[in-house]
A and B are shown apart, each in its own frame.
Chain A
């Protein structure tokens, strides 16, 4: 039962140039057909989707093509009486969409469009005695929510309203033998979860809990012969891991452990020159999620035609500078 490496092959004729204007057109047009099947079916992700699209546009210096007033008006309508923000009008508030909403408002320098005090109070109310965070009032626990909570509060300048020591203690209790992190104490390491936990520890100034060499090794072992990165051992490569893995490596000062050229080639090969946008891997259907993370990956890998991205908040560095957040990374 010999193991077979799971990977993809990059076709000879794969794209090697970054098609910026096509991507901008793709994102610009996304959401203009509001009764499109895909669009309607993903309403539960609307707020996240808007954040992915706007951040991608901003990285390409095209944010002014988007309808700022419409977006802000929409976010206002999504704030729930509890203070939390929902993915769409009439849906329920959740930390995942609340962070996206706050990121968008920060991008637009318009945090005051919502009642931020109520947002802060709502986020604070989701912390539990052991330091963890519920995603909403229904009690699901996940280290993703720990990240969302501290990122959100940090953007709103109110990180000190929660019990930071306890929050950190919980995240550290999710650390594993491979140096990575899972969803909850006992859960297996997953690169997306690693990003959330490393980012959470960066925001709270607690990166010293990480064994950077051990985790960095596990992360750089995610790179496959095709150049792409997977999220766990024995899984296929995927463009979104050029964000989860690379951002984590950047935060722990081990980004140089990745072979940059072959990863860049993999990301570029995942573009679609007909529709614009990036897919999860070469030959698949594109979406805004992978389009953002493809661009972010290229930014971290030093591509100067997109703006510099902040590895913790996944927002342009210039935005972080404007609001005066500067984190000490390893």
Chain B
């Protein structure tokens, strides 16, 4: 079905082909019939091997016939003397090799080979590695062969170090061998494990890898394989699971917890709440309607006694907990995970890492001077700047994003979202999470990232951006005042269930239909709505409908 060019043929050629195919088909259907007959009669013999072999040689995806051959070999194993058995298995391996030469990408053939190797009494695993070498020489991207190789490596007790050496050779031979770069990313955590590092690999080793990969992209800066690998080496954004924030309000009788990664709270993963060391029964919910993994969990109707108290959240399944104190004169209290400015969204770099990345940046700048219009160079330049100091390099990064959008217009919207992410992250780097008001206006944001960090803000300014929808706004559980003027919003379903929302301004957006505003019925405290400058306002009928949908809300149109 793949790569079969359609060729124009004459009627004469077509007729010749038809006759030939008819002949072939007759033989083929006859053989298939015979093979199934023998299988039904449990005739596990040489003839069965011969017939199925002839069919599989032309049609290796005929899986039921591979299964028949497996049955035959299982039968041989019980009945045949050792020498005969050895010979039969050797012949089978030889047969499989000829099949693979014709069709090296058949799942069935490779699986049958692993069956044979696991079933035969004296398998020669080292020989299989040589076979893999041959097939990978022929096509270094054949993932069937790579997968078979990993299976063989496990059986032949070949060390990860030897395999790592193999990938080094393959890469030296062809830098654009994505499969080998991939394999390295799997071998490094085995060879040099470091559980504390986000990549699972020892930092010094990662730094050494920079040299190898630099070699590759200096030779051919247009090849993406090395750049994807480089991006992985730079990737330090993963965090361990921790309690990111914890909030308690005496007035609202509410406890809110956010975590650095999504968690589930249910009967299998209970979370205990203790007030003054005594467990209090609460019901946890998240911002979604369904029970799902989330980074935000809330407990309402919590009995918070008067006076100074200690509140503790214990996530036993994850072995993490957080203590928070609320003094007698305080109505609420907030804990936020401490971080160094510039590292809220990334792993803090050690000095040796900073040095290496600094050198890496210098090298890329050098390459950039030769290749100013290479998108991979620019992308890497940006990632390095971001890893080193996102605030210092902000302007340069934003300029490069505009440059990328010209160079690579197919991915313009990806770069739009990337810019939005960087701008929000940089704003939040300097933002104390206990502040009430956040201003993100006039930033050309196409998407709002990191709302999960903002469940406490009560006022959010987003006017003058390019938002089209309000995905992930359900995290904003304390939001009272939301300003969305002059965006491109046509979908506000993200506001579903925002209990605290009082004022919403949607001036100059793209809301067309009253039904698009129906979701506001789920915001019980909404009292003011501005929808001036949306097409929905053009008809009085729609406005009347809207007033009926939202009684008690003061609507400006």
Q: List residues of A whose CB falls within 8 A of some B CB.
A: 1-3, 5, 35, 37, 40-41, 43-45, 86-87, 90-92, 94, 136, 138-140, 142, 176-178, 182-184, 186-190, 205-206, 208, 213-214, 216-218, 220-221, 223, 225, 227, 232-236, 238, 253, 256-259, 262, 272, 279-280, 283-285, 287, 289-290, 328
Contacts and interface: CB of A to CB of B under 8 A. Distances in A.
Contact of A221 (B224, B262, B413): B224
B293 A289 contact: no
A40 B28 contact: yes
B191 to A, nearest CB: 14
B410 interface: yes
B439 to A, nearest CB: 24
In the A-B complex, the 7 residue pairs with the smallest Cβ-Cβ separation, listed nearest first, are A177-B185, A208-B262, A177-B232, A259-B410, A3-B223, A37-B21, A257-B414
B225 A234 contact: yes
A136 B70 CA distance: 13
A5 B34 CA distance: 48
B297 interface: no
A311 B406 CA distance: 31
Contact of B176 (A90, A189, A234, A258): A234
Contacts of B70: 138
A136 B28 CA distance: 26
Contact of A94 (B63, B150, B421, B471): B63
B175 A1 contact: yes
7 contacts: A1-B174, A3-B223, A138-B67, A187-B146, A232-B141, A258-B410, A284-B3
Contact of A90 (B25, B36, B417): B36
Nearest to B176: A3
Given A186-B186, A188-B179, A234-B225, A257 B1 contact: no
Interface in B1-25: 1-6, 21-22, 24-25
Contacts of B141: 232, 234-235
Contacts of A279: 6
Name the prevailing secondary structure of the A interface residues: loop
Given A44-B63, A233-B225, A234-B225, A3 B220 contact: yes
B178 interface: yes
Interface in B88-143: 107, 111, 115, 141, 143
Contacts of A220: 410-411, 414
Contacts of B431: none
Given A223-B411, A285-B6, 10 more contacts: A92-B64, A142-B107, A186-B147, A187-B150, A234-B225, A238-B2, A257-B417, A283-B6, A284-B3, A287-B1
A291 to B, nearest CB: 11
Count class of interface residues, chain B: 35 or more
Nearest to B60: A44
A279 B176 CA distance: 28
Contacts of A140: 107, 111
A136 B63 CA distance: 11
Contact of B228 (A86, A218, A227): A218
A188 B146 contact: yes
Contacts of B28: 40-41
Interface string B71-93: 00000000000000000000000
Contacts of B61: 44-45
A257 B141 CA distance: 26
Interface string B382-406: 0000000000000000000000000
Nearest to A213: B421
A205 B288 CA distance: 13
Contacts of A225: 410
B59 interface: yes
B179 A217 contact: no
Given A138-B70, A138-B115, A217-B414, A1 B219 contact: yes
B218 interface: no
B4 A285 contact: yes
Interface in B158-210: 174-176, 178-179, 182-183, 185-186
B178 A232 contact: yes
A257 B6 contact: no
Given A37-B24, A90-B36, A2 B220 contact: yes
Contacts of B228: 177-178, 218, 233
Contacts of B21: 37
B336 interface: no
B318 interface: no
A282 to B, nearest CB: 10
A235 to B, nearest CB: 8
Contacts of A285: 4-6
A220 B417 CA distance: 13
Contact of A92 (B22, B63, B147, B417): B63
Nearest to B65: A44
Q: Which of B63, B147, B174, B179 has the most CB of A within 10 A?
A: B63
B339 interface: no
Contacts of B222: 2-3, 5
A170 to B, nearest CB: 15
Interface string B30-65: 000000100000000000000000000001011110
A266 to B, nearest CB: 12
B409 interface: yes
Contacts of A182: 143, 147
Contacts of A188: 143, 146, 178-179, 182-183
B178 A233 contact: yes
B115 A262 contact: no
B552 to A, nearest CB: 31
A140 B25 CA distance: 30
Contacts of B413: 256-257
Contacts of A259: 409-412
B278 interface: no
A218 B235 CA distance: 14
Nearest to B238: A211
Given A178-B228, A233-B228, A283 B185 contact: no
B292 interface: yes
B445 to A, nearest CB: 14
A148 to B, nearest CB: 14
Contacts of A223: 410-411
B220 A187 contact: no
B29 interface: yes
Nearest to B4: A285
Contacts of B111: 138, 140
B290 interface: yes
Q: Which of B2, B21, B413 has the most CB of A within 10 A?
A: B2
Nearest to B71: A138
A208 B175 CA distance: 33
Q: Which of B21, B290, B410 has the most CB of A within 10 A?
A: B410
A262 B410 contact: yes
Given A184-B147, A253-B471, A284-B4, A44 B59 contact: yes
B64 A44 contact: yes
Contacts of A227: 410
Contacts of A289: 1
B250 to A, nearest CB: 32
B25 A40 contact: yes
A255 to B, nearest CB: 10
A328 B414 contact: no
B412 to A, nearest CB: 8
Given A40-B28, A188-B179, A283-B5, A328 B410 contact: no
Contacts of B232: 177-178
A147 B59 CA distance: 26
A280 B176 contact: no
Contacts of B150: 184, 186-187
B398 to A, nearest CB: 18
A91 B147 CA distance: 27
A233 B224 contact: yes
A269 to B, nearest CB: 13
B209 to A, nearest CB: 12
